Amino acid sequence: MKYKFMEPREIKHNDDVYALFFSKHIRAEDGIKFFTPPEYPLQIGLIEHSEDKKVEPHIHRNFYYDVNTTQEYLYVEKGKGIKVKIFTHKWEIIEEMLLSAGDSILFVNGGHGLDIPKGCRIFEVKQGPYPGDEKAKIFKE
């Protein structure tokens, strides 16, 4: 069975991508589909097979990655009404949106803020090692 292919929604400002929103309804064609460009430091893909599939045992090679930015990926496992604000580097609001269980977002550029209601459960993935908030983040005044 083939699924209708659906792309993530790009959140842009002046032709620059600030985030990629992945709806809980997003589907991949049968197999594996990566949604991020190969140059992104985080590679986000979806695996959907219409039949049983075996991935051969493997080990990832040690490899040096030259990364000069931090991207952050959030997957909402449980909850709804998570308010996301996406900002330019000058703190201009580009977009406000609501996420709920099954939705996810990749912050690519600029800034973001979250209002998370009680009872939500969100997985966060970003590059490490993490140097702590003081070195890693610039907070809005």
Domain positions in the chain are: 9-49+69-127
pTM, entire model: 0.89
pLDDT in tens, 62-120: 999 888 889 999 999 999 999 999 999 999 999 999 999 999 999 999 999 999 999 99
> Sorting pLDDT into bands at 50, 70 and 90, what band is 4?
very low
- Percent of the chain exceeding pLDDT 90 equals 70
Return the higher-pLDDT residue of 33 and 122.
122
Please, are residues 27 and 5 in contact by the beta-carbon 8 Å criterion?
yes
Q: Decide if pLDDT at 5 tops 70.
A: no
pLDDT at 79: 96
pLDDT at 6: 66
Structure tokens at 24: 């809980």
The CATH number assigned to the domain with range 9-49+69-127 reads: 2.60.120
Name every residue whose Cβ is closer than 8 Å to that of residue 27 and which is 6 or more positions away in sequence: 3, 4, 5, 6, 46, 48
Alpha-carbon gap, residue 87 to 140, rounded angstroms? 10
CA 5 to mean position of chain CA atoms: 18
Helices (H), the chain: 133-136
> Sorting pLDDT into bands at 50, 70 and 90, what band is 2?
very low
For residue 3, give the nearest of 22, 23, 25 by alpha carbon: 25
